[in-house]
């Protein structure tokens, strides 16, 4: 039990799953499924997880990447959600994952001199007060107009009436999800990606496991488990439908789009949050980039790759340009990405028949807009042996996992221990202060530049020596993967040997983030990635060519979202700042 997801050991992992029986089988390898696998495994249960694509390939790599209470949910009166989320944020920043979750400042510009400051200020007092006693992030502060412009010269000075500064936290969502899955493996869970649960096994009405399609080989195998937990995000309804399960909730998909831009496009040394007519817009610092978003619109199309439209891009640019002195243009945008929020809608009205899972969430006219739907999660136990969870936020995944495993194991024979994940640092968190303090010595010992050691510690925490060992064994792995980016060739090898990456897309989209960070969607790094992966996975010429073509097609589809987006939106120079 090492916490290693070695892509070369996948067949063995499948054999372990098929040999069964398990206590718990988790369907879905987003943050909810990875969290549930960790929660159950660390209670001493025998756990398996199947994911139909790659870890975090769904919503969990496409979020705003904030670990936050959600200031706007406070305004909506969702106090419970905000309080829980803030406590989770602080736990992750201080104890469970300080190597992955970092505090980030946000500037909230004010435009209404008299009314806005006391209103927003009071909100932030509550926001700060909802945290636990020990504060790993600073308190909010008031800024004058001059102070605001000093931190964010990019803001239009007209009508600016100062600002508030508060703190939340940010994370590489895909890296975090992989780390949770690896930590689950560390406690004995068997994790298999590119494996789809196609139907549930039954003994009468009791669910006893799942039939699983190995997407790599086309083979089908069965996994027996005392409990099956569905963590399929926006695919939940499909999983229920495939086995004619009447679930007590339905998922409503809400699409959120983000634009990625270079830091030079917006002159500010802090994140920013501004109100829009519909919700809020975040400017999130992302190393040498900005992530700007998001949108919130109903979606009913392709779940795997939701399309970005001209309207989405125009909306974000238009809203951003209301507050920026130098308007953003399409030329500033390096990449776009879209994700689907698995919002929990009212349970469908039972219209009879064996299943109601396929019913729509209600009459379109009577539906709430998705911005108003609760971000809280729902746990449902529609059949004996089966539990299903959806909704929630990335930030609260640990609580969601605890809740769903509590329900799933409530009637398991024998005493199942309570959740221990609040005391369980993720892989890479153990000994982090000492590793950070020894960065210079590590660099010397391994003969790498200090910046390389710093970069690796920032991404892998105390696991850094595993990567440095790879570099020591093969110095070429210490070279950059792509000029202008900090990623190393060693990170590709490590993605295969320790993080379960099976395809080029897994590496470039989620283990490193070149898909959304580089102007060509990581295409120029793809041949190098193929070479490194081929060496480890024994790919022949034909397989290499196939992998390269697959990634080209994938990257082209992503890039197409940018080019198909019509003219740059008009900037209304005197556009009002929405209240």
Ligand X SMILES: Cc1cc2nc3c(=O)[nH]c(=O)nc-3n(C[C@H](O)[C@H](O)[C@H](O)COP(=O)(O)OP(=O)(O)OC[C@H]3O[C@@H](n4cnc5c(N)ncnc54)[C@H](O)[C@@H]3O)c2cc1C
162-173 residues labelled b (16+ CB within 10 A) or e (exposed): bbbbbbbbbbbb
Of the candidate residues 395, 462, 518, 565, the single one contacting ligand X (CB under 6 A): 395
Q: What are residue 282's phi and psi, to 5 degrees?
A: -100, 140
397 closest CA partner among 385, 389, 388: 389
Stretch that binds ligand X, among 347-355, 388-396, 416-424, 477-485 (CB under 6 A): 388-396
Q: How far is the CB of 59 from ligand X (least distance, A)?
A: 4
Tell how far CA 159 is from the center of its chain. 36
Stretch that binds ligand X, among 8-16, 227-235, 436-444, 552-560 (CB under 6 A): 227-235
Stretch that binds ligand X, among 229-237, 453-461, 502-510, 533-541 (CB under 6 A): 229-237
Cα angle 168-59-330, degrees, rounded to a multiple of 5? 75
Is 194 among the residues that bind ligand X (CB under 6 A)? no
Helix (H, G, I), strand (E, B) or coil at 121: helix
Stretch that binds ligand X, among 102-110, 338-346, 365-373, 556-564 (CB under 6 A): 338-346
Is 232 among the residues that bind ligand X (CB under 6 A)? yes
Our CA dihedral for 105, 111, 113, 114, rounded to 10 degrees, sits at -90
Spell out where 242-317 has E strands: 250-262, 271-275, 280-286, 289-293, 297-298
Q: How far is the CB of 181 from ligand X (least distance, A)?
A: 11
* 480 contacts: CB under 8 Å, gap ≥ 6: 486, 487, 488, 489
Stretch that binds ligand X, among 130-138, 225-233, 409-417, 555-563 (CB under 6 A): 225-233
Q: How far is the CB of 254 from ligand X (least distance, A)?
A: 7
The DSSP letter of residue 41 is: H
Is 286 among the residues that bind ligand X (CB under 6 A)? no
Is 500 among the residues that bind ligand X (CB under 6 A)? no
**CA gap 434, 493 in Å, rounded:** 26
Q: Which helix (H) or strand (E) holds 285?
A: strand 280-286
Of the candidate residues 10, 341, 503, 510, the single one contacting ligand X (CB under 6 A): 341
Q: How far is the CB of 343 from ligand X (least distance, A)?
A: 9
Of the candidate residues 20, 33, 123, 569, the single one contacting ligand X (CB under 6 A): 33
Q: How far is the CB of 494 from ligand X (least distance, A)?
A: 21
Q: How far is the CB of 158 from ligand X (least distance, A)?
A: 30
Q: How many CA atoms lie within 13 A of 447 on its CB side?
A: 11
Are 396 and 88 spatial neighbours (Cβ–Cβ below 8 Å)? yes
* 501 contacts: CB under 8 Å, gap ≥ 6: 7, 54, 492, 495, 507, 510, 511, 533
Helix-, strand-, coil-residue percentages of the chain, each rounded to 5: 40, 20, 35
Is 197 among the residues that bind ligand X (CB under 6 A)? yes
Of the candidate residues 48, 58, 285, 500, the single one contacting ligand X (CB under 6 A): 58
Helix (H, G, I), strand (E, B) or coil at 361: coil
Residues 505-564 interacting with ligand X (rule: CB under 6 A): none
Strands 335-345 and 22-27: unpaired
Of the candidate residues 3, 105, 233, 569, the single one contacting ligand X (CB under 6 A): 233
Stretch that binds ligand X, among 45-53, 90-98, 499-507, 554-562 (CB under 6 A): 45-53
Is 339 among the residues that bind ligand X (CB under 6 A)? yes
**CA gap 161, 280 in Å, rounded:** 18
Q: What is the total count of residues that contact ligand X (CB under 6 A)?
A: 39
Is 388 among the residues that bind ligand X (CB under 6 A)? no
Q: How far is the CB of 250 from ligand X (least distance, A)?
A: 14
Stretch that binds ligand X, among 3-11, 28-36, 262-270, 517-525 (CB under 6 A): 28-36
* 407 contacts: CB under 8 Å, gap ≥ 6: 379, 381, 387
Q: Which helix (H) or strand (E) holds 404?
A: helix 397-409
The DSSP letter of residue 577 is: P
Are 37 and 398 spatial neighbours (Cβ–Cβ below 8 Å)? no
Is 318 among the residues that bind ligand X (CB under 6 A)? no
Of the candidate residues 5, 20, 45, 63, the single one contacting ligand X (CB under 6 A): 63
**Mask for 241-260, x = binds ligand X (CB under 6 A):** ---------------x----
Is 31 among the residues that bind ligand X (CB under 6 A)? yes
Q: How far is the CB of 372 from ligand X (least distance, A)?
A: 16
Is 64 among the residues that bind ligand X (CB under 6 A)? yes
Q: How far is the CB of 82 from ligand X (least distance, A)?
A: 12
Binding site for ligand X (CB under 6 A): 27-33, 50-53, 57-60, 62-66, 68, 196-197, 231-235, 239, 256, 294, 339-342, 392-395
């Amino acid at each position: 039990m090492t916490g290693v997801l070695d892509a070369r050991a996948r067949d063995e992992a499948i054999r372990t799953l098929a040999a069964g029986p398990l206590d718990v089988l988790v369907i879905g390898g987003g943050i909810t499924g990875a969290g549930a696998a960790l929660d159950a495994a660390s209670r001493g249960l025998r756990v398996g997880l199947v994911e139909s694509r790659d870890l975090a390939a769904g919503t969990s790599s496409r979020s705003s990447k904030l670990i936050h209470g959600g200031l706007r949910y406070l305004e909506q009166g969702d106090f419970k959600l905000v309080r829980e989320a803030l406590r989770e944020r602080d736990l992750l920043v201080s104890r469970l994952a300080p190597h992955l979750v970092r505090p980030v400042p946000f500037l909230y510009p004010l435009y209404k001199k008299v009314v806005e400051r006391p209103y927003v200020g009071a909100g932030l007092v509550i926001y700060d007060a909802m945290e636990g006693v020990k504060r790993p992030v600073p308190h909010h502060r008031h800024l004058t107009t001059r102070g605001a412009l000093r931190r964010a010269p990019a803001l239009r000075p007209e009508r600016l009436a100062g600002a508030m500064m508060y703190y939340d936290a940010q994370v590489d969502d895909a890296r975090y999800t992989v780390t949770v899955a690896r930590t689950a493996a560390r406690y004995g869970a068997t994790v298999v990606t590119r494996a789809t649960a196609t139907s549930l096994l039954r003994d009468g009405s009791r669910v006893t496991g799942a039939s699983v399609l190995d997407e790599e080989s086309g083979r089908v195998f069965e996994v027996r488990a005392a409990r099956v937990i569905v963590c399929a995000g926006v695919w939940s309804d499909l999983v229920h439908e495939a086995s004619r399960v009447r679930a007590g909730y339905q998922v409503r998909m809400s699409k959120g789009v983000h634009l990625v831009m270079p830091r030079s496009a917006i002159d500010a040394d802090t994140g920013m949050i501004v109100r829009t007519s519909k919700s809020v817009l975040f400017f999130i610092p992302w190393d040498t980039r900005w992530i700007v978003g998001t949108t919130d619109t109903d979606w009913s199309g392709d779940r795997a790759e939701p399309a970005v439209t001209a309207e989405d891009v125009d909306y974000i640019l238009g809203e951003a340009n209301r507050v920026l002195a130098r308007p953003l243009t399409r030329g500033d945008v390096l990449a776009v990405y879209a994700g689907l929020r698995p919002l929990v809608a009212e349970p469908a009205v039972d219209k009879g028949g064996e299943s109601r899972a396929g019913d729509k969430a209600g009459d379109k006219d009577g539906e709430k807009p998705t911005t108003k739907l609760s971000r809280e999660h729902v746990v449902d136990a529609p059949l004996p042996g089966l539990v299903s969870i959806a909704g929630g936020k990335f930030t609260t995944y640990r609580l969601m996992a605890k809740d769903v495993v509590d329900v799933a194991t409530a009637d398991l024979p024998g005493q199942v221990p309570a959740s221990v994940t609040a005391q369980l640092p993720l892989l890479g968190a153990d000994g982090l202060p000492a590793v950070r303090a020894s960065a210079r010595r590590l660099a010397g010992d391994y003969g790498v530049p200090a910046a390389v050691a710093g970069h690796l510690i920032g991404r892998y925490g105390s696991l850094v020596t595993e990567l440095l060992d790879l570099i020591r064994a093969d110095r070429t792995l210490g070279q950059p993967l792509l000029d202008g980016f900090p990623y190393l060739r060693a990170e590709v090898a490590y993605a295969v040997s320790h993080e379960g990456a099976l395809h080029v897309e897994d590496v470039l989209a989620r283990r490193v983030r070149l898909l959304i960070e580089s102007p060509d969607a990581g295409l120029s790094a793809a041949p190098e990635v193929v070479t490194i992966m081929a060496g480890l996975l024994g790919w022949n010429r034909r397989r290499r060519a196939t992998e390269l073509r697959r990634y080209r097609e994938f990257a082209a589809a992503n890039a197409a979202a940018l080019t198909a987006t019509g003219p740059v939106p008009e900037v209304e120079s005197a556009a009002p700042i929405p209240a």
